Each structure stands twice: as C-alpha cells, then as structure tokens.
Structure 1
Amino acid sequence: MATLAQPAGPFALGTFSLPDGEPFPGLLAKGRVLDLGRALAWAPSGMRGVLERWEEALPVLHTLANEDALEWRPADELRVHAPVEPRQVFQSGANYRQHVIDLEVAHRAPDDPRTVEEARAEIAEIMDRRAAEDLPYVFLGLPSAITGPYDVVVLPSWAKQPDWELELAAVIARPAHRVSVEEALDHVAGYTIANDLTDRATVFRRDMPAIGTDWLRSKNAPGFTPLGPWIVPAESIGDPGDLRVTLKLNGETMQDESTKDMIFGVARMVSYISQTARLLPGDLVLTGSPAGNGMHWGRLLRDGDVMEGSITGLGVQRTRCVGEVS
C-alpha cells in the first residue's frame, strides 16, 4: 500500500487487493475503489475482461463513478498491482529525438573529426528525416517481467549495468489488425506508466556481435517492467503527444521530457505494429524512453535506490531496488 496520487479525469482503472486477498479489477474515483467484478453485471474476473467490452463498459463506468450508494473501499487501504495482465507487450526503441541524439554523440568514434555541435546538428537532421520517411523500431517484451507500481524491483546479480527507462504506455481495447494511423487511437482504451528497466551490459551479445541486440537477456528479468498505477481513459488525457515524463532517482530528477519529443507518436506506433501483429485487448504499446537514462548520467541502479516515475495525469509509481544476493 502507498500514498496514491489521483489521476486526471473522473475515474481510472486498476487492479487491487486487500492485504491478504485476491486481486480484483477496480474503479478508482474520489480516492475510493469499487470492485468491478461485483459491480458489473457480466462480472469480469480481471482487467482484461473490462477492456474486452470497453465500448459497452465505458458509459457504465462513468455512471458508477458517481454512485455513492455502492460498496466503495478507501484506496489507501488496498494493495495496488499492475493494472492489467497483457498477453503481448510491444516495446519501442530509439523513439525520442533528444535521447537518440545524446546517445549518438556519446558513442562517437574517438577519431570522429566533428565537433560536438556539428555532430548534434547532423544527427538532428537524420532524426527529422527518420520521422518523415522511416518506420518505428519495435520489439517484444515478456508479460512475466511486469510488476506492480509500488513493488520492490530485484536487480539480478548478473545485471552489471541496470538502468531506468520511464515510458508512456498505451493500453489496447479493441483488437487492431492493419489499421491506419487515422484509426489507430480508436483502439486505445487509455494510458499508463511503464518503467522499462534495461541491463546495458547485456544489450549486445559479446559472443555474437553480428547478431545485434539481445532484448530477452537485457530487459525481461522478473520485475523489470514496473507498470501503473492506473489505466486512465484516453478521453481524460487528451493529446498523448503532449505529456510530461519525469523520473526521479532518490529525489533527484533524471528524466524530464515531453512526449512532444517522440519521433513516432502513439497513433503511428499502433498502426505500424498492427500491420504485422494483431493487437488484443489489454496489450501494451510502450512508446520509448526520453533522454536522461542512467548511462547519460554515468549513474546506474544499485541496491537501495528509489525510483519515482510520473506522467501528466497518470499518477505516480514508486519502486525500490534491492540487489539480489548471489
């Protein structure tokens, strides 16, 4: 249980439990929670059940949020879990302009004849062309890496360079396959916060450098994706391309960037993924991380660190890191 920041709009959705009880899908409104498994006539067993009937559920949720004569529980008496258990997790890399520029400049060859300013200007032009002409870079994550927004994150003993990556995540409602950019946001129920932890030391395979990135190893340890606290309906957020993404490490701001800096917005991302895959209710689309990761600061995660991540209107997640005892 934690002190809970209220989201934008009249209500949000989450997954809750009593301290010794089973998780249930809940409606959060006015600092209190309603068990949707009991309140809805079709009694969903989990949040995916709500999302699978999103168009039918949404007007009912608005009505329930204003009904005081129901069995509400104070939110601060409940444990908050990851808001949804997705079947698929789609993750985006290199999707923030400033972040990519910073990385490219930091990893210039020692004999690069350009000044820092020249390198930044050239890479910025490449990013602009990429936004206009290229495609997003998307890979798959594992649902088993997801943990709750206030849970402890165990840093595996083998992870030598664990890093943070706070991201806006879109939550799918209507199944989406081969949808256009113009149609894409109609398939999004709402948004939540994801921290896509990455062990930088294992991103690239040293034994097989030609094979490229190893996202299984570097990103998918249990608990490496703190999620939530809430799913905030898209109608309460407005423009997902104009939100502030902020991560604090032990109270010090490390990431603080607008989603305006995304190279590919949510609609383009969802549409692109749907050209190959079939997006299902409850699936997550992580949209990439802005500048300010640990590699940028030369300060990576270690035992005892506390991360606090927030995105405009979506609440706050707080997770404490614990080093695994090998």
Structure 2
Amino acid sequence: MIGESSQVVMTRQSGRFALGTFAAEGETFPGFVHDDTVYGTRSVIPEAHSTVDLLADWQTNLDRLEAVVFDSERLAKLPHWPLDQVRVLPPMDPVGTSFAAGVNYREHIVQMSVAHKLGRPGATDEELRVEAAAENDERSRQGDPYIWTGIPSAVCGAYDDLLLPDVGDQIDWELELGVVIGSLAHRVKPEDAFEYVAGYTIVNDITSRSLVPRTDIAKIGTDWFRAKNQPTFFPTGPFLIPARFVSDPSSLRIQLRLNGDLMQDATTEDLLFDIPSLIAYASSIAILRPGDLLLTGSPAGNGSHWGRFLRPGDVMEGTITGLGTQRTVVRAPSGQLPPWQLSREGLQADSR
C-alpha cells in the first residue's frame, strides 16, 4: 500500500527528496525519502529532533540533506528503512494549527451554489451558476478570503483510516493543497509571501455536512468546529515537499478517486485567491507559526455535488502533482454517542 502511495517523482531525481515524520522500531523520528527509502535526518542534523525543528534554519538544513543525497557512500551509512516498512505519520511534528480557506475554487463555488440552492430564491440551476460565477469575479476583485481554523488533534496520517463519527452524517471529502509555513509570519505583503513557505503537502479536509448549519442559533450560521474537527478528519501527507522542488504551485493537478472512480479533477489554476493572497490575508489577522498549515481550498467534485457521501468500506485515493498519494479507508462509527449527546437525547425523551 505505502509503496504505491508514495510515488513522488522528485524523490527519484538526483539530489531531490521529500521530508516527513515516521515510526519504526518503536521510535518516531524525522526523516527524508529518496528512492523509496527513508533516512533519519538526526544523523545529519542532530540538533533537529523533529520536522518543525528543521524549519529553524530551513534553507541551510535542506542544503545539508541535499549534499548527503548527492554523496551515495555517505547516504548508504545513514540509518535507513524501506518506505513500506515504516509508519508514515503527519509530516509536521508537532502538528500545528490549520488555517483553512473555504469556497476558494471557482468551479467548486458554483457547484456548491447549485447543490445547496445558495442564491436568489426561485432561480434555476443555470441562473444560480451564472450568478455565482459573477459573484466570484467581484469577490476576487474586492473581497476577502474565507478562512477558519482546524485543530491538531483532528490530523492523522496519509494512510490512516478515517473514522466515521458518532455525531454527524453526510461525511464529505475535500482534497486540498496544503502550504507549510516555514517562519513566523505576521502582516506579510503578498509579494513577500513565498519567502514564508517551507513546502507543500496534501490534505483531505473531511466535513460532516449535517453539522455545518446551526439552525438552533440562526444568526450564528455555520459551525465549522463541530463539522470539521473530529478525530481523523484531516488526513495529511504523506510528505512535506520543500518549496525549492515545486517549480509552480499554481499549476498542480489535484485528483481524488473514491473506490477507483474519479470524483475531483482540477488544477490549482482555478484558485479564487492564490497562495500569496491567502498568506497575506491570514497573517493580517493572526500570527502564523513555523509548522502551521495553510489549506488552500477544495476544487469541485465533492460528495455534495455528486449526492454521494462516505460509507464504511470506502477507499479514497488522493494525489497532487509531485506531492505523492494518500490512501484512506473509511471505517464505521463506534455506535456509542459521547456523554454530551446522550444527555441531550435524555432531555428530549423527558420532554416528550
């Protein structure tokens, strides 16, 4: 499984590699991947105990690792494991905050507007499409990105199972390009934004569509905390690909297959707000820290569009050009409500 899912073209090019966090022989460690072999970075950079530590002197550390990759004799002496014999964990350790852009692919916005009838009452599907496209253009000229936050405990590895929750249904997929922040970023200018990017990864931003609206508090609107932050709702990785190895992040192909059927197929050219704009906006509000993750939004083709949500036994495979492949098996919920929801059910029963 991991051997197939690890295909990253750049790791097979001389001097190029991917980074991540791995577990083998009872130990968790930062490593780099070259030719489907994982090498521990601590033998080269002993002061960096984790992948986030590597960011402290990022370009120099990349140079040190690249020099080892070019030196086959030295490379062979490093601790190493076949990639298919280690557990691949979320690439950044410790996991940081996720700053996630919503409604940020033009065609996705149009599809969601039609699927959820978001627009003028009584408008036909075609009228909703046309009006949503016009709103896209206006928002890109004068509006702001829409960004919410995800918590570290919702993140899992690229090959870990997705656990369907006991609270919420209509569980949907959203494959996205993730941007790993490399240095402290606050009030960044768009033209300087790429200086703060360490690299790129893949994230599947899972959503319980039934938990998004808060009908009990109409003026509040949406509840992204409960809809998106349940355990395993952020499959991330498999790797961090350094930005120096990604020539054009604005032209990467994103594809998600469900049980072999292609559901999402787009490129990052369809972003409404590009990566510099997202970094500039997010950093105008918050301080972004090394290891934080900026999710750039999901392209068209979600379950809401297809009218098909995740079920136990489903298998998702997600790829982004040059960043590898995720493989996620969907598992059934536990069948046991948490105490809070049980208490609410009890109250409802007492009131009947």
Q: Report how far residue 109 of structure 1 moved.
A: 7.2
Q: Report how far residue 278 of structure 1 moved.
A: 1.2
Query: Percent identity of the aligned residues?
Result: 45
Amino acid aligned to 2:7: Q
Q: 2:224 aligns with which of 215, 236, 248?
A: 215
- 1:118 counterpart = 2:122: no
User: Paired residue for 2:268?
Assistant: 259
- The verdict on how the C-alpha distance between 1:253 and 1:275 changes in structure 2, with shifts beyond 3 A counting, is same
- The verdict on how the C-alpha distance between 1:111 and 1:215 changes in structure 2, with shifts beyond 3 A counting, is closer
Q: Report how far residue 45 of structure 1 moved.
A: 1.6
Q: Report how far residue 174 of structure 1 moved.
A: 1.6
User: Paired residue for 1:61?
Assistant: 65
Q: Report how far residue 209 of structure 1 moved.
A: 1.9
Q: Report how far residue 67 of structure 1 moved.
A: 2.7
User: Paired residue for 2:328?
Assistant: 319
Return the alpha-carbon distance in structure 2 between the equivalents of residues 313 and 49 of structure 1. 24
Amino acid aligned to 1:77: Q
In structure 1, the residue corresponding to 2:251 is in which secondary structure? coil
User: Paired residue for 1:7?
Assistant: 8
Contact in 2 for aligned 1:8/1:232 (Cα 8 Å): no
Q: TM-score, normalised by structure 1?
A: 0.95
Q: 1:24 aligns with which of 12, 15, 29?
A: 29
In structure 1, the residue corresponding to 2:213 is in which secondary structure? coil
Amino acid aligned to 1:22: E
> 1:136-215 maps to which residues of 2 (within 5 A)?
136-215=145-224
- Runs of 5+ unmatched residues, structure 2: 11-15, 336-352
Q: Report how far residue 112 of structure 1 moved.
A: 4.0
Q: 2:106 aligns with which of 86, 97, 107?
A: 97
Contact in 1 for aligned 2:17/2:241 (Cα 8 Å): yes
Deviations 1:213-245 (A, max 9, x none): 111100001110000001011121111111111
In structure 1, the residue corresponding to 2:285 is in which secondary structure? coil
Q: 1:45 aligns with which of 38, 42, 49?
A: 49
User: Paired residue for 2:349?
Assistant: none
Return the alpha-carbon distance in structure 2 between the equivalents of residues 171 and 87 of structure 1. 10
Return the alpha-carbon distance in structure 2 between the equivalents of residues 87 and 113 of structure 1. 44
Return the alpha-carbon distance in structure 2 between the equivalents of residues 178 and 233 of structure 1. 23
| Number of residue pairs aligned between Structure 1 and Structure 2 | 324
- Runs of 5+ unmatched residues, structure 1: none
User: Paired residue for 1:73?
Assistant: 81
Return the alpha-carbon distance in structure 2 between the equivalents of residues 297 and 232 of structure 1. 31
- The verdict on how the C-alpha distance between 1:164 and 1:29 changes in structure 2, with shifts beyond 3 A counting, is same
Q: Report how far residue 113 of structure 1 moved.
A: 4.7
Amino acid aligned to 1:17: A
Contact in 1 for aligned 2:119/2:128 (Cα 8 Å): no
Q: Report how far residue 46 of structure 1 moved.
A: 1.1
- The verdict on how the C-alpha distance between 1:101 and 1:39 changes in structure 2, with shifts beyond 3 A counting, is same
Q: Report how far residue 8 of structure 1 moved.
A: 4.0
In structure 1, the residue corresponding to 2:140 is in which secondary structure? helix
User: Paired residue for 1:307?
Assistant: 316
Return the alpha-carbon distance in structure 2 between the equivalents of residues 152 and 111 of structure 1. 40
In structure 2, the residue corresponding to 1:178 is in which secondary structure? coil
Which range is displaced more, 193-202 or 29-38?
29-38
Give the alignment's Cα RMSD to 1 decimal: 1.6
Contact in 1 for aligned 2:115/2:304 (Cα 8 Å): no
- The verdict on how the C-alpha distance between 1:113 and 1:205 changes in structure 2, with shifts beyond 3 A counting, is closer
Contact in 2 for aligned 1:91/1:141 (Cα 8 Å): yes
Contact in 1 for aligned 2:311/2:330 (Cα 8 Å): yes
Return the alpha-carbon distance in structure 2 between the equivalents of residues 275 and 325 of structure 1. 41
